């Protein structure tokens, strides 16, 4: 089966286990990398609004 023609993640052999998606209530298997200096809160919010898992870069945070 071609994963691009799949109608759901359960049918896609490249993402056979959807437990993480179900646990985090995600509809797409996208996890944004929290890259300090390249991403900000707006990027994390945009990824989250698109049903992915947004992440905040906090490694160089001074707070």
**Residue 56 reports pLDDT greater than 80:** yes
Average pLDDT over residues 33-62: 85
Average pLDDT over residues 36-55: 88
Every domain of the chain and the residues it spans: 3-49
Give the 3-state secondary structure of residue 10. helix
Q: How does pLDDT run across 16-39, given as a tens digit for each residue?
A: 778 888 888 888 778 888 888 888
Contacts with 25 (C-beta within 8 Å, 6 or more apart), sequence order: none
Give pTM, 2 decimals: 0.58
More confident residue, 26 or 11: 26
CA-based nearest residue to 51, from 22, 18, 20, 26: 26
């Amino acid at each position: 089966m071609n994963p691009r023609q799949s109608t759901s993640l359960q049918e896609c052999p490249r993402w056979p286990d959807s437990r993480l998606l179900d646990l985090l209530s995600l509809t797409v298997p996208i996890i944004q990398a929290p890259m300090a200096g390249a991403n900000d809160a707006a990027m994390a919010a945009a990824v989250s609004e698109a049903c992915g898992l947004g992440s905040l870069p906090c490694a160089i945070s001074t707070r």
